[in-house]
């Protein structure tokens, strides 16, 4: 999320999308606002994809996601089926479904909301865990951990992930 986006941590109105979008340059993509109140049961993100940009294919294994297009237009590919998106579209992205997004020439802005994911835990390989250093799976732009260990792009904002080292 961009630090200059206005936000509230009190219950009620959290942000006005026009204010959040105006607070960051038009060419900057990614999460322009995110719900980050401690103790919440939901996650929500207002995301801007600049014209012609995309969020690469990914699978969210843990939670269903609702995506609401607030502006612009684009294309969703959901389990191999392409669908047009435009302002006002409400999309259900079931967990386990492979999805990607592409913005048209007018860009694409959308709000996602879903049940809050469980946090990352470090377990030994014998316990079915991953190695303790998973930094290469954290998005530098928005902080989201990748769901797949071979992910190359952030499923939330489309930013390239750091290379494993």
- The residue with greater pLDDT, 108 or 28, is 108
> Where along the chain do its domains lie?
17-120
CB 48 within 8 A of CB 32: yes
pLDDT band at 19 (very low <50, low <70, confident <90, very high): confident
52-56, 61-65, 89-93, 116-120: range with highest mean pLDDT: 89-93
What is the pLDDT at residue 127?
45
List, for residues 29-80, the tens digit of each pLDDT value: 888 888 888 888 889 999 999 999 999 999 988 899 999 999 999 999 999 9
**What whole-number distance in Å separates Cα of residue 46 and Cα of residue 157?**
10
Task: Give the mean pLDDT of 116-143.
Answer: 58
Fold of 17-120: Jelly Rolls (2.60.120)
């Amino acid at each position: 999320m961009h630090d200059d986006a206005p936000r509230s941590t009190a219950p009620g109105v959290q942000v006005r999308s026009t204010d959040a979008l105006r607070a960051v340059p038009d060419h900057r993509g990614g999460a322009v606002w995110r719900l980050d109140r401690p103790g919440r049961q939901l996650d929500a993100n207002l995301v801007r994809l600049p014209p012609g940009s995309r969020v690469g294919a990914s699978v969210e294994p843990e939670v269903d996601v609702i995506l609401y297009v607030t502006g612009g237009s684009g294309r969703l590919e959901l389990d191999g089926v392409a669908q047009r998106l435009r302002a006002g579209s409400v999309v259900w992205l079931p967990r386990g479904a492979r999805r990607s997004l592409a913005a048209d020439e007018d860009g694409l802005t959308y709000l996602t909301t879903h049940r809050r994911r469980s946090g990352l835990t470090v377990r030994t390989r014998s316990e079915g865990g991953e190695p303790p250093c998973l930094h290469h799976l954290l998005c530098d732009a928005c902080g989201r951990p990748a769901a797949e260990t071979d992910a190359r792009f952030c499923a939330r904002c489309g930013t390239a992930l750091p290379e494993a080292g």
